[in-house]
Structure 1
């Protein structure tokens, strides 16, 4: 194909005087381009994209096309229903899809044109012909498949297409398509293509929220219900609840046997992931509630009485009868009950550490705050959980994996019973491990949503380790079953295999002599300029597979040292270190310079983040840290990554460095000598809260038992002014004020009284009942004839939508406030470690001088001071007391302990302060044992007599403590449930009695 032959075809298309000739030109172009990338490249540079844009824009809804087409008076509706116009538009759509099939190099000119907005406008038009829907959706899916190939270094992901598809004016079209019945093969294809598009593009919170609020999630729920109906899993008696509020009014029609469940489950999963509120919105949707209504405990007929006025009431001895096991559960096999001390549900073995400042998630990759830590009561579990387990046992392939992914997400969000752990161990874990077997292959089946870039088996295998990682995270029972199933050895082998050289399938374009297309960027417009060739699909698959494997390895080893040693014995530590190396440059300039998957080629950002998580988990082991990780050189790549331009990589690398800075770590000196401390101090003052927390955590470890000159340099780098600002912030009152602002902003009367992020009940707003009357802005027609479902049913009703929006806002606000509390907590811990060890007295004096004696002590006292807040919306003026977070109480009291361990004059400063010890007396009976024992230690250090010269001072301080009522406070702790608190109390009482 030569450039000389190209011009007449394009000229013929651009100069067509009739629609029929235009159609003929488009058909010829389509036949010329399909399967010929060299011709596509030539036509792109010759200007085919602007020509196609003109063809599509002439039929774009809302445009006056009469003048352009020389057919005056022709309406938009007639354009769509005219056979030639429809055919011209359809042929142009097919050509765009063919160009996109060529790979990432052709995406740049498509994005530079207005073709995608035009296609979405046609798709969203109410009178869009149904024949247009499949080809437009296939074009969008083709582009979504090839976007990741453009640059594997992009993080966050390229959202250009998602921003267009999930825009407000187009998202209703997605809902309309998903909401239609499986009445024809075309409808079925469109539904599955939309679901596949959501599964590929929906990665941002803003898009997930938009899909939930617009009704797309509810429409997907009805499709799930259609499969439940088709498979015969509808709960017995569900027909009696069809007319209840929140139900559809009738069962959805059963899904045909040819319909595919996997894309529907994937779309639901990506929307609800990492948000308990969106998950609850899905479980309460009309489709799910119709087939899986809540089982309400009933009463015996003898317990129901009738009053003389005719109203029914319950007798005083009425007790609700148990509904028994979920009917779907009876279809599942029985499994052994969990036993042994490894259960994370045991109070003696909490999954996230003991308490206090050492409490930290073992998540090895970024996990938003929305993951629930408190399980929902058993009776609230939806029947969709056992149904998904049944799908796991009866189906195969991608359906099985997507069912596993969805049930895992529900479990992680606290929406599945903790008693499911044994069933997950014996049913789900073996299935996931089987998918990782070398000989596992999926049967060859036609998948209309398949991208054609990698095989279905490769797609399944690259996603399976991430599902396993999410399942076993923070659960020692599940980790044990996975390790017993040989997961560590299998994953280690797979990680090694991801470093096998990738045979490159891409080759440079061949051209006859003198036939190379002109590519002068100065002379070509953006829609005629080819983009970079990008990466091969195989290489991108390997990178995603490596990322997924690293996540699984990290999720399996956070608690057991023997598991970490097993990882090292399998010889994968060097591969983990290699995975920490970033790519030396962005996308290659041509196919000849394509990376061959060697260690020197580096890794994209997502893989580096997963590798940082794996390194962080391995550094928890002292023996591993002193042997395998030192030998592999884990420190140097992390020291490079902490300076990386990507913020997420900086955060992940800093989190891994935290463990390298521990006092027992042989790499602590390397951190100091590599001049990492100034970088950590700079990051501690970053505007990004996550980076601040991790940097302060690392600095806290670095300064412990370090020379005083290094501690002083840390204070100088952070600056006393910054430290003073952080420790002086009143987080409790700020939380309360933010809560009242959130309440004022909400149109509903939902109370802000709930457990806060640190596990204490802080009822900072007055409880208010929902009036039951939706606000004016949310009113809509909710009534539906029971005999027919319409599109309006898939738009969430006013109450559910309002609840979803409010919960999402609260979640963000709570996360932000929790992060602020964590920054202050780590700052206090940093100051505590600065005044630990040799030379502590010198550092106490230094802190009092630099930060200010009064400023430091006042900050400590203010953080201990009880607070109240005026409650709004009350007829009578009233106030409510607020609780100080236990994290802050523990950190502040620990700092006071170490000041009291200094010289006698330091102890005298504490007792002479007007409010400090008086405020501390409020917490001797605190529910947190760390707070209680810290209070006792303060007393011990204040009255401990180091030598005879301080005896008079000790007596004076003991008298002052007795005057504050400390003796009575200690008496209440003599029978404390915690043995350590009880023993330390005996010591404190003995010291006081000997002095007073």
Structure 2
């Protein structure tokens, strides 16, 4: 079929001879396009987007300042004749027309993202001389693109960060702080603030973007907006007006937010920036806006407690008691709740401990890193920001999205340990019932009119979609909160909702009609990519259901990690088959014509839902009874064996963590894992560059190797390769710790601590994390108190002290996580070797390991793990030149366990251990270790080395006992006779008896 000739109106635009005719053509094209998707498709295929990019780029290139405009009245950022007003009108019409195209659906995003038009728009938005009339249309375009990004392809759901990378770059991020930082003076500014905050809430998913938003002032600008709502609601702390001149405050109270302003987008933006980072959360709580309305309260004392010294200074008497113990007036707005009767402890035992060291270590249920407890200052019971009770008040007083966002932010702050301890009771009685009520079908979301957030689905659906996710974050790893949620019927409600997400959906949307009866949305391959529409993608309702299902699965997983009765309740509600269906991925390519009805199990699930389903399945596998019945009946292994080969590495990690529990010795799935040829895949993943995947794969292999046949163990060693095993076990476990300790000492000896090495070994300037020299100079000037005249954009750039703290703590988080990951890889590898050399046929496997890895190399590596270490320090008169570095306890436990099993082998295996020049000598220094498992294992080594298998080994046992006695083992054992741990005391009695009986005979 011959393509139609170019329409006259498009020819008029292409051949415009003046800016006024160009604007008229754009206006006419806009009027013909808005509301007509088929015309939009035609215009795109005829090259409208590159044409619009050229029109807008002329404005971007022009970029003239206000002063230049006054001097050159006739100057225009275009080659066409006309005034500046006509040029602005043409650009505005082009922006509005582009906005109409982006609302056509997911298929229109491909040409928009492939062209250069979004960077041009952001350059215009960031320009200092950009007309104010451009701001709202551009922000609406960016929000429209952000809303439709998830609809493009479910395989890449939440993975397309092209717009976020542009918006949060150093070139454009300043415009966000400028827009959000303006006052709520007009309706236009109000809409711009909410649209800019909405962009942050929709696009900020990457850790790097969150750090930049905190560092470049966007988080502080949002904090001022939060403070404006606090002022408008009348919750400013009494007397705060007397502290507005304090260092770090704004200088004056921010103007109150107008009646029509929405709080939900502001709270959402704050939440997505601070979540998973205690340091960013503290950065928000210490921002100028929050400090101004909630100044730190100084306890007052009675005049009789204040004494005056002879030289004129004052001091407090020894019996002085503060009148106010840190409580805020906001506390009186919250109801009294009964104190908790359940001890808040996460030590509840699962049905089985993970194979490995029998200590308190367990894998957490959450996937995000916890805060560094070693760096936290001692937390005071009264040291809580008034933002917390204010948010709890909002949860009770507000409705709709504002209530949910307040609940989400207070949940994040609670998870980051920034609330009082007694808040657990208040969360149990106030927050959990409200979140559960939001799951009801008839929940009233009054207060949210139309579609205030998301742009594509009603706010009622959005609230129901996100409420389970907030509940999951709140109760995870907290048995008390889980108990209250379970008693509130949360498991039953969530189970019913999960079933409902599989109800067939008949969507009314249909594809565009074409005269030839064929759909031509993709266009010709010969056309430029910016002239071809992408695939139609998925409907907003379908993506809403997928997100809803994801959050329900997260909530179910968060409720059941510790209590077998909760896991059984999930099974009794009949949702295990639905969880298994949620493990099935969606097809690689979206269908050209969406089928009706949709939402069946065959339609599959996107990556985030797969991750949530793996989390739910993993929690259920902690129950022996559920694992042996419901999960097997539902066929849990089949989809997992597919997901372990899935292209997305996060899905591989999640699936491997489930297989890790399926591979336990009592699991009926263990043989299925071996027979399904999963071992080669696990061995391959153990070599991955992704540390998390290496750890999970080694953990699964460790479980497979326990109490299995020697041919399977040999297969594992062959798959891992002896060279790789040598490389892992010969690494020094204290390298990163030593480097970090040296850096800390260097920082403390250098005034200000100007730089430090990050996890990649690069030097990081902590005062100036952003690579802009001019900005660095400005930051160094911002150490004085802020001017008190008015709120200005400059104050949204954190001062040098706050920026340094933010960068320092973020960098230490990375360093600590890297150290923990390296230690975990070594620990799991040593545990795997331990399981290989225990059980039936252990002696043969010890010989096999000696042959494959090398007898001397293996024993030298084991001895080196026990070697005491020290690191050189910079020369300082007040400190020694070296500092001792402790070998991580996890490595010690794993290494000594391995030695125990070697000592349980043949007599000549024991003789190898005794004859090694360093191994036992190094071991002696750990008999009085602070960890009970290390002490117990040291005693077990003595028992195994001196235990007499038969009469033929009597003389060998006596020689080994004499050797142990000569290096001081009796003194070490004597020091453990009164150990506080019963197991250590009992094992010590056995060891003393064996050594004494052999050496005195």
Same fold by TM-score, threshold 0.5 exceeded? yes
Q: Secondary structure at the match of 2:259?
A: coil
2:133 & 2:362 partners in 1: Cα distance? 51
Q: CA deviation at 1:587?
A: 2.2
Provide closer, same or farther for how the CA distance between residues 314 and 873 of structure 1 changes in structure 2, counting only shifts above 3 A.
farther
Aligned residue number for residue 690 of structure 2: 688
2:123 & 2:668 partners in 1: Cα distance? 61
2:907 & 2:797 partners in 1: Cα distance? 69
The reply to whether residue 507 of structure 1 matches residue 510 of structure 2 is yes
Q: Secondary structure at the match of 2:870?
A: strand
The reply to whether residue 33 of structure 1 matches residue 33 of structure 2 is yes
Report the more deviating stretch, 409-418 or 783-792.
Answer: 783-792
Whether the aligned pair in 1 keeps the contact of 2:246 and 2:785 (CA below 8 Å) is no
2:286 & 2:356 partners in 1: Cα distance? 35
Aligned residue number for residue 344 of structure 1: 345
Whether the aligned pair in 1 keeps the contact of 2:865 and 2:887 (CA below 8 Å) is yes
Aligned residue number for residue 795 of structure 1: 797
2:738 to 736, 739, 756: 736
The reply to whether residue 600 of structure 1 matches residue 602 of structure 2 is yes
2:748 & 2:126 partners in 1: Cα distance? 31
Q: CA deviation at 1:357?
A: 6.5
User: Which residues in structure 2 correspond to 1:217-232 (within 5 Å)?
Assistant: 217-232=219-234
1:353 & 1:287 partners in 2: Cα distance? 47
Provide closer, same or farther for how the CA distance between residues 38 and 444 of structure 1 changes in structure 2, counting only shifts above 3 A.
farther
CA deviation digits over 1:816-859, x for unaligned, max 9? Answer: 11101000000010011111111112212222222222211211
Report the more deviating stretch, 192-201 or 593-602.
Answer: 593-602
1:198 & 1:796 partners in 2: Cα distance? 19
Aligned residue number for residue 7 of structure 2: 7
Provide closer, same or farther for how the CA distance between residues 592 and 263 of structure 1 changes in structure 2, counting only shifts above 3 A.
closer
Whether the aligned pair in 2 keeps the contact of 1:365 and 1:551 (CA below 8 Å) is no
Aligned residue number for residue 331 of structure 2: 329
Aligned residue number for residue 770 of structure 2: none
Whether the aligned pair in 2 keeps the contact of 1:179 and 1:791 (CA below 8 Å) is yes
2:809 to 782, 807, 810: 807
Aligned residue number for residue 44 of structure 1: 44
Provide closer, same or farther for how the CA distance between residues 241 and 733 of structure 1 changes in structure 2, counting only shifts above 3 A.
same
1:327 & 1:209 partners in 2: Cα distance? 33
Provide closer, same or farther for how the CA distance between residues 619 and 354 of structure 1 changes in structure 2, counting only shifts above 3 A.
closer
Q: Secondary structure at the match of 1:153?
A: helix
2:718 to 716, 719, 728: 716
Q: CA deviation at 1:747?
A: 12
Report the more deviating stretch, 273-282 or 304-313.
Answer: 304-313
Q: CA deviation at 1:809?
A: 1.6
Whether the aligned pair in 2 keeps the contact of 1:900 and 1:938 (CA below 8 Å) is yes
2:29 & 2:554 partners in 1: Cα distance? 46
CA deviation digits over 1:547-603, x for unaligned, max 9? Answer: 111111111111111111111111111111111111222222x23458821111111
Q: CA deviation at 1:972?
A: 2.6
1:287 to 286, 289, 292: 289
Whether the aligned pair in 2 keeps the contact of 1:45 and 1:519 (CA below 8 Å) is no
2:338 & 2:131 partners in 1: Cα distance? 56
Q: CA deviation at 1:700?
A: 0.3
Q: CA deviation at 1:624?
A: 0.7
1:470 & 1:147 partners in 2: Cα distance? 25
User: Which residues in structure 2 correspond to 1:626-775 (within 5 Å)?
Assistant: 626-740=628-742, 749=751
Provide closer, same or farther for how the CA distance between residues 729 and 711 of structure 1 changes in structure 2, counting only shifts above 3 A.
same
1:266 to 253, 268, 279: 268
Report the more deviating stretch, 638-647 or 48-57.
Answer: 48-57
Provide closer, same or farther for how the CA distance between residues 110 and 655 of structure 1 changes in structure 2, counting only shifts above 3 A.
same
Report the more deviating stretch, 314-323 or 780-789.
Answer: 314-323
Q: CA deviation at 1:72?
A: 9.7
Q: CA deviation at 1:688?
A: 1.1
Q: Secondary structure at the match of 2:665?
A: coil
Whether the aligned pair in 2 keeps the contact of 1:79 and 1:86 (CA below 8 Å) is no
Q: Secondary structure at the match of 2:850?
A: helix
Provide closer, same or farther for how the CA distance between residues 592 and 494 of structure 1 changes in structure 2, counting only shifts above 3 A.
closer
The reply to whether residue 959 of structure 1 matches residue 962 of structure 2 is yes
Q: CA deviation at 1:3?
A: 8.0
2:917 & 2:269 partners in 1: Cα distance? 60
Aligned residue number for residue 837 of structure 1: 839
Q: CA deviation at 1:750?
A: 6.4
Whether the aligned pair in 2 keeps the contact of 1:364 and 1:610 (CA below 8 Å) is no
Provide closer, same or farther for how the CA distance between residues 518 and 888 of structure 1 changes in structure 2, counting only shifts above 3 A.
closer
Aligned residue number for residue 981 of structure 2: 978
Aligned residue number for residue 180 of structure 1: 182
Aligned residue number for residue 92 of structure 1: 94
Q: Secondary structure at the match of 1:530?
A: coil
Q: CA deviation at 1:871?
A: 1.3
Whether the aligned pair in 2 keeps the contact of 1:904 and 1:950 (CA below 8 Å) is yes
2:565 to 557, 562, 566: 562
Aligned residue number for residue 388 of structure 2: 385
Provide closer, same or farther for how the CA distance between residues 75 and 19 of structure 1 changes in structure 2, counting only shifts above 3 A.
closer
1:79 & 1:316 partners in 2: Cα distance? 84
Provide closer, same or farther for how the CA distance between residues 152 and 317 of structure 1 changes in structure 2, counting only shifts above 3 A.
same
Aligned residue number for residue 443 of structure 1: 446
Provide closer, same or farther for how the CA distance between residues 357 and 591 of structure 1 changes in structure 2, counting only shifts above 3 A.
farther
1:906 to 904, 909, 918: 909
The reply to whether residue 968 of structure 1 matches residue 965 of structure 2 is no
Q: Secondary structure at the match of 1:779?
A: helix
2:982 & 2:89 partners in 1: Cα distance? 82
Whether the aligned pair in 2 keeps the contact of 1:727 and 1:827 (CA below 8 Å) is yes
Report the more deviating stretch, 893-902 or 956-965.
Answer: 956-965
User: Which residues in structure 2 correspond to 1:238-637 (within 5 Å)?
Assistant: 238-298=240-300, 301=303, 310-312=312-314, 323-340=325-342, 343-344=344-345, 356=357, 366-368=367-369, 376-443=379-446, 445-446=448-449, 449-513=452-516, 520-588=523-591, 590-592=592-594, 596-637=598-639
2:699 & 2:352 partners in 1: Cα distance? 20
Q: CA deviation at 1:692?
A: 0.4
CA deviation digits over 1:482-541, x for unaligned, max 9? Answer: 111111111111111111112123312113359986965233222211111010111111
Q: Secondary structure at the match of 2:838?
A: coil
Q: TM-score, normalised by structure 1?
A: 0.92
Provide closer, same or farther for how the CA distance between residues 209 and 361 of structure 1 changes in structure 2, counting only shifts above 3 A.
farther
Q: TM-score, normalised by structure 2?
A: 0.92
Q: Secondary structure at the match of 2:96?
A: helix
Q: CA deviation at 1:310?
A: 4.9
Aligned residue number for residue 158 of structure 1: 160
CA deviation digits over 1:930-986, x for unaligned, max 9? Answer: 112112222222222233333333333223323333223223322222222222223
2:604 & 2:271 partners in 1: Cα distance? 31
1:263 & 1:889 partners in 2: Cα distance? 49
1:803 & 1:704 partners in 2: Cα distance? 46
1:701 & 1:972 partners in 2: Cα distance? 35
Q: How many pairs were matched up?
A: 972
Q: CA deviation at 1:230?
A: 1.5
Provide closer, same or farther for how the CA distance between residues 329 and 927 of structure 1 changes in structure 2, counting only shifts above 3 A.
farther
Q: CA deviation at 1:739?
A: 4.9
Provide closer, same or farther for how the CA distance between residues 87 and 903 of structure 1 changes in structure 2, counting only shifts above 3 A.
same
Gaps of 5+ in 2: 66-71, 760-774
CA RMSD of aligned residues (A): 3.2
Whether the aligned pair in 1 keeps the contact of 2:472 and 2:554 (CA below 8 Å) is yes
Q: Secondary structure at the match of 1:59?
A: helix
Q: CA deviation at 1:426?
A: 0.7
Whether the aligned pair in 2 keeps the contact of 1:80 and 1:129 (CA below 8 Å) is no
1:36 & 1:192 partners in 2: Cα distance? 28
Whether the aligned pair in 1 keeps the contact of 2:250 and 2:791 (CA below 8 Å) is yes
1:743 & 1:6 partners in 2: Cα distance? 72
2:647 & 2:446 partners in 1: Cα distance? 44
Q: Secondary structure at the match of 1:378?
A: coil
Q: CA deviation at 1:21?
A: 2.1
Whether the aligned pair in 2 keeps the contact of 1:369 and 1:815 (CA below 8 Å) is no
